[in-house]
Amino acid sequence: MDLNEIKNRLNNLQAKSAPRGEQKNLFWKPSVGKQTVRVVPSKFNKSNPFTEMFFYYGIGNRVMVSPLNFGEKDPIAEFAKQLRQTSDKDNWRLAKKLDAKMRVFAPVIVRGEESEGVKLWQFGKEIYEAFLQMAADEEIGDFTDVASGRDIKLNTVGPESTGTPYNRTTIGPSMKTSPLSDDADQVEAWLETQADPKSVFKKYTFDEMKDALQSWLAPDEAEEGDIIDDEKEPEAPVQQNYSLKTPEPKKSTADKFDSLFEDESDDLPF
């Protein structure tokens, strides 16, 4: 029996979302100006330091992590699939708005702040692609190597430069290779003391997410949430009416909505 594997499974089963104060200590984001970080090999995936996760923004007054991240059924994804099975343009537009947004997490050491330990840096598609292109470049290679990797240089500009409410960060590799640290014990500690991105967010149940979606779809109950998505494009207000053009007996609004989730054998679209 692999006791380490057993302990990991136990930790995953018992994992709860971290309190908001602790989450602030777990996460890091660049500030305007120049900074340097080092991407650390992931404790949870030795072959890839990046963890892709999908979130829903603005459905109700919360940000919700998709159950698909954990291999579970997602009522919002299922509803979007139902909408795409019709020929109604409004349904397709709504389905697109309901698609979960990808965020990527990487464990990093911030140079000059090494005493803070490993932080989780979350970013979107643009920075993620830049990292992947960097890794695919044979002249750069594995920038996470603890002995001969590369620090990553960041340049962040503010809203006055981006023309949006958000900052924008660009990245590039250091020209010189270097060790993660000259202290072997410190390296070992950083490799072992990391937060698992999949265990720090609250997991909502299927019914909780379905209820949030139903409330968001109802014009009289819809609420506008705080959305922080630094790569989103400006878009028109959500059109709350939708239709599924499938003849059926008259039902209440709640019954119609619940019936969309009755087929448990439906394959998910992802």
CB–CB of 195/120 below 8 Å? yes
CB–CB of 200/18 below 8 Å? yes
Distance CA 106, CA 41 (A): 9
- CA 124-130-132 angle, to 5 degrees, is 100
What pLDDT, on a 0 to 100 scale, did the predictor assign at position 62?
83
Distance CA 155, CA 123 (A): 14
Q: What is the pLDDT of residues 20-57, one digit of tens each?
A: 545 568 999 999 999 999 999 999 999 999 999 999 99
Task: Of 28-42, 53-67, 115-129, give the lowest mean pLDDT range.
Answer: 53-67
Question: Average pLDDT in the 222-228 region?
Answer: 39
Q: Please state, as a whole number, how many other Cβ atoms lie within 10 Å of the Cβ of residue 73.
A: 14
CB–CB of 44/177 below 8 Å? no
Q: What is the pLDDT of residues 136-161, one digit of tens each?
A: 999 999 999 999 999 999 999 999 99
Q: Name the percent of the chain in helix, strand, coil, to the closest 5.
A: 35, 20, 45
Q: Which residue has the tokens 């940000």?
A: 63
Query: Would you say residue 181 has pLDDT above 50?
Result: yes
What pLDDT, on a 0 to 100 scale, did the predictor assign at position 184?
97
What pLDDT, on a 0 to 100 scale, did the predictor assign at position 177?
97
CB–CB of 180/151 below 8 Å? no
Q: Are strands 27-28 and 119-123 parallel, antiparallel or unpaired?
A: parallel
Backbone angles phi, psi at 92, to 5 degrees: -65, -40
Query: Is residue 30 helix, strand or coil?
Result: coil
- CA 210-215-217 angle, to 5 degrees, is 95
Distance CA 70, CA 84 (A): 24
Contacts of 219 (CB under 8 A, 6+ apart): 240, 241
Query: Is residue 27 helix, strand or coil?
Result: strand
Query: Would you say residue 265 has pLDDT above 60?
Result: no
- CA 46-49-52 angle, to 5 degrees, is 120
Chain mean pLDDT for the chain: 83
Q: Which residue has the tokens 């104060």?
A: 21
Sequential DSSP letters for 14-56: H--PPPHHHHHHHEE-PPSEEEEEEEPPPSS-TT-S-EEEEEE
Q: Which pair of structure tokens corresponds to residue 17?
A: 């979302």
What pLDDT, on a 0 to 100 scale, did the predictor assign at position 218?
83
Q: Please state, as a whole number, how many other Cβ atoms lie within 10 Å of the Cβ of residue 195.
A: 21
What pLDDT, on a 0 to 100 scale, did the predictor assign at position 61?
78
